[in-house]
Chains A and B, each alone.
Chain A
């Protein structure tokens, strides 16, 4: 049986005391977003673009709260300049990023950003953890949370597309 990685990740966020969850929706994040929205101790904040999440997380940290951001790999392209602030201020940052443009992709326009997501993040100083299997997502998130909030790290956990398992427009629409 596949582990329920969104529930496991949500438990990690609770254990770490995360109070703010910024997100740009992705089909792969549907369940985790719902779990965070239903959690009375979390403020789920829908964003119009991923870079807003960097400002949100920085502001919340200035105010003493921890934030986690949820997005898909294409959104990483929107982050580049504002990641400069994360680096120069050493703001803690945790992003859980569902991958597109990998195994099972049906949309060729998702491929260029998907193929460069890890490199873009690393170029801007974000540590990348690749969760290739559902069993490993929560453990990577646990590590990312610790390194971010205890060592002022910028961390991204990439959840592989084969973990998400979306195959077609039709299947995505029916989710």
Chain B
């Protein structure tokens, strides 16, 4: 494992265009913020296990936009059932990328199940993701899955278990929700449904 998580996430979000991004709580939320905060990013501060499901809801609501969920191995392990749920829906515009340092980074670097060889890409493959890969050296193939290949796609990217400076997104959930909807939906995000 030689990849650095901040470099991986920065590379995935480089020239992101109109990509919609959901990040799981903890390190991946800090990673996407370090790469450059955007109103079209939804960094989570809680609801562990739900990042992939938020990505699914977004992908179903916005079938013409590409949706990327970037989350940690611990967060993904808490929501493994969501991979089965995504597999049933087969959203072609959804990619789930797990930044896998095999550790619970926010709580003392305890080993996660992936440190014992539990294979998340194999789980995703068994859940009928169209593509499911593990990347250890470079992320060119992962970028292809995020931006071009019809999904649903899954990638586990093995990274070093570094402890990095925090780069925090806004913590106010109402702000994160409202700015995302405004940036995506325009002024109609702020009016009552019957006025749209």
Contacts and interface: CB of A to CB of B under 8 A. Distances in A.
Interface stretch (A80-88, A114-122, A134-142, A162-170): A80-88
B185 A64 contact: yes
Interface of B is mostly: helix
Interface residues of B, number: 41
B61 A89 contact: no
Contact of B22 (A49, A54, A59): A59
A104 interface: no
A89 B82 contact: no
Contacts of A59: 22, 53-61
Contact of B50 (A62, A66, A82, A149): A82
Given A63-B58, A63-B184, A85-B47, A46 B88 contact: yes
Given A17-B193, A55-B52, A85-B46, A62 B85 contact: no
A89 B174 contact: yes
B130 interface: no
B189 interface: yes
Nearest to A150: B192
A78 B180 CA distance: 27
A55 B60 contact: no
B13 interface: no
Interface string A51-70: 11111111111111111000
B14 interface: no
A2 interface: no
B89 A45 contact: yes
Interface of A: 16-17, 19-20, 43, 45-49, 51-67, 81-82, 84-85, 88-91, 149-150
Given A62-B177, A62-B180, 4 more contacts: A20-B57, A52-B79, A55-B53, A60-B60
26 contacts: A46-B88, A48-B84, A51-B50, A52-B53, A52-B81, A52-B82, A55-B52, A55-B56, A56-B54, A57-B57, A59-B57, A59-B59, A60-B61, A62-B61, A62-B177, A63-B61, A64-B181, A64-B185, A65-B61, A66-B193, A84-B47, A85-B173, A89-B174, A90-B174, A90-B177, A150-B193
